Structure 1
Amino acid sequence: MTVIRLTKEFSFEAAHALDGYDGPCREVHGHSYRLFVTVRGVPQGDERSPKYGMVMDFGDLKRLVHEQIVSRLDHAFVLRRTAANETLLAALRLRFDRVVLVDYQPTCENMLADFARRLRGGLPAGVELHALKLHETAASYAEWYADDNADRL
């Protein structure tokens, strides 16, 4: 059987601050994120199936990524959950609705690990998450590969 990889691109706008960081990214700032999601599998071989010839319907992949990532983070401020941030969080929530707390430093790298965990459980049988690529800027991105993380999943 032929294994095929499918990739779909997504974009979202989000702000974050890197709590305790020793550079300019400790300040609140935003990115126009571009996320590439690649899955792999064998195309459906049953000619009677409405998914005949497909590894996965691109629309199903779009729904999953929007549900787990884009709708959650688009136009949000992502902040690490710490005791020191509780006062800031209370003030922000008086004014803004889209503040997302995470249990990790919201770096591009950590966001990818979170995205991988969120997406893997929603894929159809026989379809695997192969890779993720997240651009913070046009020239800066991080990548996650299933093969590199087989013992960490």
Structure 2
Amino acid sequence: MGIIRITKQFNFETGHALYGYDGKCRNVHGHSYKLSVTVIGRPITDTSHVKLGMVIDFGDLKKIVKEEIVDQFDHATVFNKNTPHVELAKELTDRGHNVILADYQPTSENMVIDFAKRIRARLPENISLHSLRLQETDTSFAEWYASDNQ
């Protein structure tokens, strides 16, 4: 049987601010993110296997992405921990807000790299992460491809 790519899409709301940026995105704001996760592998051919014909059960992929990305980033605010935004982050956290202090500037580009690392670490060894697409707005997105990151 051939190699197949399957994709599952996810939606979540996240706020962020880009410290030091020279445009509007230096202000705290949010996005309705759309994340497309594409994995690649061979469908299961063992006729006694409950998941016969699947590369990976969509439910299993959903569990991984939900735990690693959606549950953590949905309705959170992301700041670069190496900026003065840590003061704002502390204030928000003290008031009960969900804040993520990242090791990077929270651009779509850096977020998609972070997401790829998180998802790859959880995939079964016979399944590979092929690509991610993180859509920030209707017209703007960042893509990560395994073939570009060998």
Give TM-score scaled by structure 2 length: 0.97
Residue of structure 1 in register with 2:40 after alignment: 40
Structure 2 gaps of 5+ residues are none
Residue of structure 2 in register with 1:144 after alignment: 144
- For residues 120-139 of structure 1, what are the structure 2 equivalents within 5 Å? 120-139=120-139
**Distance in structure 2 (CA, Å) of the matches to 1:14 and 1:96:** 16
SS at match of 1:79: strand
Percent identity between the two aligned chains: 55
1:55 matches 2:55: yes
- Give the deviation of 1:85 after TM superposition: 2.6
CA offsets 1:38-61 (integer angstroms, 9 cap, x no match): 000000010011111110000000
The alignment of Structure 1 onto Structure 2 pairs a total of residues equal to 150
1:98 matches 2:98: yes
- For residues 25-36 of structure 1, what are the structure 2 equivalents within 5 Å? 25-36=25-36
Runs (4+) off by over 4 Å = none
Residue of structure 1 in register with 2:82 after alignment: 82
**Distance in structure 1 (CA, Å) of the matches to 2:102 and 2:149:** 21
SS at match of 1:12: strand
- Give the deviation of 1:121 after TM superposition: 1.2
- Give the deviation of 1:112 after TM superposition: 0.4
**Distance in structure 2 (CA, Å) of the matches to 1:17 and 1:40:** 34
Paired residues of 2:79 and 2:86 also in contact (CA < 8 A): no
CA offsets 1:80-137 (integer angstroms, 9 cap, x no match): 1025233222211121330111000000000000000000011112100000000000
Structure 1 gaps of 5+ residues are none
Residue of structure 2 in register with 1:3 after alignment: 3
Paired residues of 2:13 and 2:31 also in contact (CA < 8 A): yes
**Distance in structure 2 (CA, Å) of the matches to 1:124 and 1:51:** 14
1:116 matches 2:116: yes
